[in-house]
Structure 1
Amino acid sequence: MEDVDRISDLPDSILTHILLFLSTKEAVGTSILSSRWKYIFTLVPNLHFDLVDDLCHKNLESCILHIKSFISFVDKPLSLHETSLDRFHLKCREMVHGRRVYSWISTAIRCGVKHLDISISPD
């Protein structure tokens, strides 16, 4: 019996609906499945970014790496986003530079975000 990828044959609207049930991180992760999935995550209307800061209590070096990784993770989906945003949730630490946060918020606004949830906690 031949393996057939029936899910990838679905229209973008259905694939996007499926991705709505995943976290933003998981939805972006689907981009590695195949060329068909590479940019489907850019159609998801809800983006949720939450910097988990438990690594920042261990040492400064791991904290800086964790924050750099978080910044790259937020930059990619926002820079590629193709549709209007219903929700944009951002929770991060003050260690993320204010200009970067301002840029993310500006991008979300340009994408017509309807619900904006921003939480910036002290270091």
Structure 2
Amino acid sequence: MKTGRNHGGKKNVAHDRISSLPDEILTHILSFLSTKEAVHTCVLSKRWRMMWATVPVLDFNLCEFFMDDQNDAPGDYGRKSVVRFERFVDGVLDNRKSTNLDIVRYSCRSQRCEALVYMGWLDRVVLLMPRMIHINFSRVFIFALNDPISCESLQHLVMDF
């Protein structure tokens, strides 16, 4: 809460109305952000520190991590960005609450980085029992799964190319 003086010398109090909302409403609001943006809210206050971990939507977008990595070896363009992305996804899955997961979105809309796509997350995310998994690539992309996907809660598996 911030305090200050208005022109009449009386105290002026500004309230943080968002933080006073119930957890259910805050997590609903955070569900409209990408997972990267939702995780960034952890710096707002102690109450927000792990709020992102209860959001019912995980939205991973490789393009949010893709940068021009000047130090990459020739032919390995963007590999450092993909490594940052892999670490982020693994960190989210390591710290994610195993309740209330509704939707998991994974997208890569940049053709230049699709060769580097990380799919190791899929085996781990089905353990969180999502209702829907949506995978989105900018063009037809072939990838191999280690095992068939088995998830009792899964109602929809959408793959867009």
Structure 2: gaps (5+ residues): 1-11, 109-113, 143-161
Q: Deviations over 1:41-97 (max 9, x none)?
A: 111111111212864697735612211211122122221111232111223534255
In the other structure, the counterpart of 1:9 is 20
Q: How do residues 1-123 of structure 1 correspond to structure 2 at under 5 angstroms?
A: 1-52=12-63, 55=67, 60=72, 63-82=78-97, 83-92=99-108, 93-96=114-117, 101-102=119-120, 104-119=121-136, 121=141
From the superposition, tell whether residues 80 and 54 of structure 1 become closer, same or farther in structure 2 (CA, over 3 Å): closer
CA distance in 1, matches of 2:34, 2:132: 17
Distance, in Å, in 2 between the alignment partners of 1:81 and 1:24 is 11
**Which is bigger in relative contact order (C-alpha 8 A, separation at least 6)?**
1
TM-score by length of 2: 0.61
Q: TM-score, normalization: structure 1?
A: 0.76
Q: Bigger CA drift: 113-122 or 24-33? A: 113-122
Higher helix share: 1
Pick which of 49-58 and 86-95 moved more.
49-58
8 Å Cα contact 2:58-2:103 kept in structure 1:
yes
Matched residue type, 1:79: D
Moved more, 56-65 or 66-75: 56-65
Query: Which residues of structure 1 form unaligned runs of 5+?
Result: none
RMSD of the alignment, in Å?
2.7
State the number of aligned residues. 118
Largest Rg, 1 or 2: 2
